[in-house]
């Protein structure tokens, strides 16, 4: 008897629960398709791909006239089973047509197609944000690569070698002569490898929002061909690629996973605004839906990532590793935030405490403060979601989120107490919050906690203004309803009477020249720096 795979730990009962709940909840959340695609005729598409399979076999035979014929291999291992699973276990996904079928107990069909191309023909990257753009430029330095985004304005600026996010410079574009950018879906049909790097945010109820992922899958699925590879980079919960993405690709393309095409997962690990740890300097985790596809995907990334790759045994392992990375950081920061609250009750200076603790060699360098952005403050909810579907209640993960979400209120309260200690009446006091983005030298405003901080300050009677010279201030006004000042506007805003206090959340390099104390009234000069 073969040893049961580690990926098949889900029981039959829990698997059914996972399938029905995931299909019902996430399919409803993802109905609003955000990527437009051309209509396809399923019957014509199916027959076309059948013809492609025949032509592919003929083409391969004609290309090897002097080589002995050999048996066609499949996307799976030599026994036809998926990598990391016994023959009795196959791909872990569900469809709306068969919600009660266990994904781990279904019988796998023998694969028919193999990938024999030593290098990709054309790569397509779906989504040109802080993940997709570096991917496009990195692969575009070696392979013909199409960077696709539905935002035509974004595509136009990239075509002019400009990146408004600040993540990539002119030199990055010049080093990628084979990269080009488009907002036309039809251009994606010529690709043979698709890398999907779209956002995976959360809903207002803090549940996974897979609408971007669904739209990308439907778009790619509408032009998927026999022999193609689809690799997902978007952060999500373990089992999402097989349970949610693969069925969408199959239903849209009318092709079969591991027979006609394969999928992989390689989680993005980019740290925004970090010029040291760029894409090429971070080890890339890779995986595939079969042994052969995992090897192909790993070699593909290894060919452009000098830092190397780490190929894992299953897609679920790769998904879980990324979720763990961000959840660990969230929990560590939550402990620092809770310690900050504790020591504040004792009247102790957290900054000095940290300075002393850092003298020990194995003290971990985590610091208290607002936890925002699109990763650390979002991804733990994805992990909590799948945990609860399995009947597991993650206490520490949940508590960490509660602690970190409470920080805007705590910082606002602490700042207000310092104003009162300086003899300043809270009602009508004029204060300046420095930094709107969620981290230093980063233009990204997604899920920034500064609006929450401003709301808390205003609820205490304070008049709040915000300074950030780096972000898109028009967008901040549109999305958050907050007017943000830039440094050149600051003097005019403060020359009359000055501010009663300044709360420094994030001080970008472009604003570092400002003497914050000089912006305050002479009688207060109160500058509060969030740890």
Find the DSSP H helices in 303-314.
none
Contact 122, 192 (CB under 8 A): yes
Triad 32, 38, 43: Cα angle to 5°: 105
Between helices 246-253 and 211-221, what is the axis angle to 10°? 40
Q: What is the DSSP letter of 517?
A: G
CA torsion 496-501-506-509 (nearest 10°) is: 40
Alpha carbon 388 to its chain centroid, in Å, reads: 21
Q: What is the DSSP letter of 235?
A: -
> Cα separation of 241 and 246, whole Å?
6
Name the nearest CA neighbour of 38 among 222, 255, 248.
222
Q: Which two tokens stand for residue 94?
A: 């569900």
Q: CA neighbours within 13 Å on the CB side: how many for 225?
A: 17
Cross-strand pairs, 181: 147
CA distances from 6 to 9, 19, 25, 316 (A): 6, 19, 27, 10
The helix/strand/coil state of 322 is helix
Strand order from edge to edge, sheet including 501-504 = 484-485, 463-467, 430-434, 501-504, 527-529
Contact 420, 345 (CB under 8 A): no
Name the nearest CA neighbour of 197 among 216, 182, 184.
216
Which of 375, 442, 454, 520 is labelled catalytic?
Answer: 375
Q: What is the DSSP letter of 348?
A: -
Q: Which two tokens stand for residue 419?
A: 């104003």
Residue with tokens 């002569």: 177
Between helices 395-405 and 407-421, what is the axis angle to 10°? 40
Q: Where do the DSSP E strands lie in 83-151?
A: 123-126, 145-148
Contact 502, 527 (CB under 8 A): yes
Name the nearest CA neighbour of 484 among 509, 506, 464.
464
Q: Are strands 527-529 and 463-467 parallel, antiparallel or unpaired?
A: unpaired
Residue 479 — φ and ψ, nearest 5°? -85, -30
Catalytic residue check, 311: no
Alpha carbon 183 to its chain centroid, in Å, reads: 21
Q: Would you please indicate which residues are annotated as catalytic (active-site) residues?
A: 375
């Amino acid at each position: 008897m073969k040893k049961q795979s580690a990926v098949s730990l889900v029981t039959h009962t829990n698997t059914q629960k996972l399938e029905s709940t995931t299909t019902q909840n996430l399919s409803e959340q993802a109905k609003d398709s955000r990527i437009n695609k051309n209509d396809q005729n399923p019957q014509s598409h199916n027959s076309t791909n059948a013809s492609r399979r025949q032509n592919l076999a003929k083409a391969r035979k004609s290309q090897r006239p002097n080589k002995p014929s050999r048996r066609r291999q499949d996307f799976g291992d030599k026994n036809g089973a998926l990598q990391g699973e016994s023959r009795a276990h196959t791909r872990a996904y569900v469809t709306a047509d068969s919600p009660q079928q266990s994904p781990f107990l279904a019988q796998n069909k023998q694969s028919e197609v193999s990938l024999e191309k030593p290098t990709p023909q054309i790569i397509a990257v779906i989504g040109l944000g802080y993940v997709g753009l570096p991917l496009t430029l990195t692969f575009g330095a070696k392979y013909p690569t199409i960077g696709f985004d539905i935002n035509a304005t974004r595509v136009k600026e990239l075509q002019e070698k400009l990146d408004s996010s600040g993540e990539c410079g002119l030199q990055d574009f010049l080093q990628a002569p084979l990269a080009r950018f488009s907002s036309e879906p039809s251009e994606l049909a010529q690709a043979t490898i698709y890398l999907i790097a779209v956002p995976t945010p959360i809903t207002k109820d803090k549940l996974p929002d897979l609408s971007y992922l669904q739209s990308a899958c439907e778009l790619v699925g509408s032009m998927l061909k026999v022999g193609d590879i689809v690799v997902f980079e978007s952060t999500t919960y373990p089992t999402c690629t097989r349970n949610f993405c693969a069925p969408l690709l199959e239903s849209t393309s009318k092709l079969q996973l591991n027979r006609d095409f394969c999928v992989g997962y390689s989680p993005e690990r980019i740290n925004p605004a970090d010029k040291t740890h760029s894409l090429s300097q971070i080890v890339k985790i890779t995986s595939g839906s079969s042994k052969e596809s995992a090897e192909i995907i790993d070699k593909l990334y290894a060919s452009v990532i000098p830092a190397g790759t780490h190929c894992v045994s299953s897609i679920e392992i790769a998904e879980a590793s990324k979720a763990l990375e961000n959840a660990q950081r969230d929990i560590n920061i939550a402990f620092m935030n809770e310690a900050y609250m504790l020591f504040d009750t004792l009247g102790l200076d957290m900054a000095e405490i940290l300075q002393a603790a850092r003298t020990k060699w194995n003290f971990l360098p985590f610091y208290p403060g607002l936890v925002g952005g699109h990763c650390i403050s979002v991804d733990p909810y994805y992990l909590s979601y799948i945990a609860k579907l399995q009947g597991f209640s993650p206490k520490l993960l949940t508590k960490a989120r509660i602690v970190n979400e409470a920080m805007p209120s705590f910082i606002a309260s602490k700042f207000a107490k310092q104003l009162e200690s300086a003899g300043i009446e809270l009602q009508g006091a004029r204060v300046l919050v420095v930094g709107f983005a969620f981290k230093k030298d980063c233009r990204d405003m997604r899920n920034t906690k500064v609006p929450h901080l401003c709301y808390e300050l205003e609820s205490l009677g304070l008049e709040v203004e915000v300074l950030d010279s780096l972000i898109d201030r028009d967008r901040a006004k549109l999305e958050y309803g907050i007017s943000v000042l830039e440094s050149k506007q600051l003097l005019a805003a403060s020359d009359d009477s000055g501010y009663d206090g300044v709360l420094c959340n994030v001080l970008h390099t472009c604003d570092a020249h400002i003497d914050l104390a000089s912006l305050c009234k002479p009688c207060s000069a109160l500058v509060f720096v969030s740890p």
